Amino acid sequence: MLTNAVQRAQDILVRPFSLGSLSLPNRVVMAPMTREFSPGGVPGEDVARYYARRAAGGVGLIITEGTYVGHASAGNSARVPHFHGDEALAGWSAVAEAVHREGGRIMPQLWHVGMDRTAGNPPVPDAPRIGPSGIALDGSHAGQEMTRADIDDVVAAYASAAASAEALGFDGVEIHGGHGYLVDQFLWSRTNRRTDGYGGDVARRTRFAAEIVAACRAAVSDDFPISFRLSQWKVNNYQARIAETPQELETVLGLLAEAGADIFHCSTRRFHLPEFEGSDLNLAGWAKKVSGKPAISVGSVGLSNEFLQVFQGEQARVTDIADLLDRMEREEFDLVAVGRALLGDPEWLTKILAGRVDELTPFHVGLVGSLH
């Protein structure tokens, strides 16, 4: 017999959602997670099977791990997949096919690391480390300020990847605009000190991101969904903010929506934390409110014991699953992304919706080392 919590989860999570040409059977998204299992930048059959398992496990939409756009300075690992070049794209075509065979939907996440290009084994070792001002996340001068030609090249690389995604049969694309990588380095005042039209106030700092969105929009069909992922926090800096106020957030997202973004994927580490004072809304809630566009929330869904206790029929106190379902019922945001819990167990959603929580494989960091 289903507990009330399981029934409620079914009622709220298993509602269809559509966005342009994309129709989803439920509201649960697999969050993008870098796995580094694509030697030479080419995703193989093991990567296809990894995503197909999550599709078979019922997740409505898969957003892939970050994939490098076709620009020499885009990446910092030779094992992160590319989204350019015949071999890598053939690998991605097989991934999309495998996911579709299981009834799933999938979007690649398009990525350029910018000044984060520090690790030992980048795909193009002698390419320069570039960013809006050559300034790393810690504020140090550590690379080259992008020229206007660099900017145009990167924008074109995103557009080309978006066109490839549509041509290969993907269901949309996501632009990685968060976590302190290149697009976010433009959005953040600490790393963007430019004095041309790409730097200055929050609207000018949004110009690069908006040009990427507009170029992607122009490269794909009108109804091909474009998601934009953003975060306030940066790698190693959880206090950082691109928008200090709802008004600043409205400026950023308004420009991105105008450029053609269809949905905002708001990366927070805990979905239940309010974003600005005076309201319970989280970042996704605010994004939806100020932009009028749908939003995806994320952050620690399914990881706490309280989450599971509710499903096991223990006292119905306000715990994170109840809070999540309340927020979704109120339409604070439209979709919820799940990362680590789905990395732990490909069948996470199926088991949750059947109340089979005893059978879940919980996430632990050791699982990051394998592609199960």
Task: Among 29, 89, 159, 298, indicate the residue that binds ligand FMN (CB under 6 A).
Answer: 298
Site membership for ligand FMN, residue 368 (CB under 6 A): yes
What does the DSSP 8-state code read for residue 235?
T
Contact between 199 and 192 (Cβ < 8 Å): yes
Site membership for ligand FMN, residue 67 (CB under 6 A): no
Task: Among 41, 43, 58, 66, indicate the residue that binds ligand FMN (CB under 6 A).
Answer: 66
Task: For residues 213 and 323, give the distance between their C-alpha atoms in angstroms, rounded to a whole number.
Answer: 33
What does the DSSP 8-state code read for residue 368?
G
Site membership for ligand FMN, residue 230 (CB under 6 A): no
What does the DSSP 8-state code read for residue 114?
G
Specify the length of the chain in residues. 372
Tokens of 250: 């409205």
Task: Among 38, 73, 76, 109, indicate the residue that binds ligand FMN (CB under 6 A).
Answer: 109
Q: Which is nearer to ligand FMN, 32 or 355 (CB)?
A: 32
What's the count of helices (H) and strands (E) in the chain, helices before strands? Answer: 13, 12
Site membership for ligand FMN, residue 78 (CB under 6 A): no
Task: Among 8, 27, 53, 340, indicate the residue that binds ligand FMN (CB under 6 A).
Answer: 340
Tokens of 345: 């167990």
In the complex, least distance from residue 63 CB atom to ligand FMN, rounded to whole angstroms:
8
Catalytic residue check, 181: yes
In the complex, least distance from residue 180 CB atom to ligand FMN, rounded to whole angstroms:
11
In the complex, least distance from residue 64 CB atom to ligand FMN, rounded to whole angstroms:
8
β strands within 164-293, DSSP E:
173-176, 226-231, 263-267
Sign of CA dihedral 266, 269, 271, 272: negative
- The pattern of x and - marking residues 158 through 197 that bind ligand FMN according to CB under 6 A reads ------------------x-xx------------------
Task: Among 65, 116, 248, 262, indicate the residue that binds ligand FMN (CB under 6 A).
Answer: 65
Site membership for ligand FMN, residue 13 (CB under 6 A): no
β strands within the chain, DSSP E:
17-19, 22-24, 28-30, 61-68, 106-111, 130-131, 144-145, 173-176, 226-231, 263-267, 295-298, 335-338
Task: Among 6, 24, 29, 32, indicate the residue that binds ligand FMN (CB under 6 A).
Answer: 32
Tokens of 70: 């076709």
CA 20 to centroid of chain Cα atoms: 18
| Positions that interact with ligand FMN (CB under 6 A) | 31-34, 65-66, 109, 176, 178-179, 229, 267, 298-301, 303, 338-341, 368
Annotated catalytic residues are 181
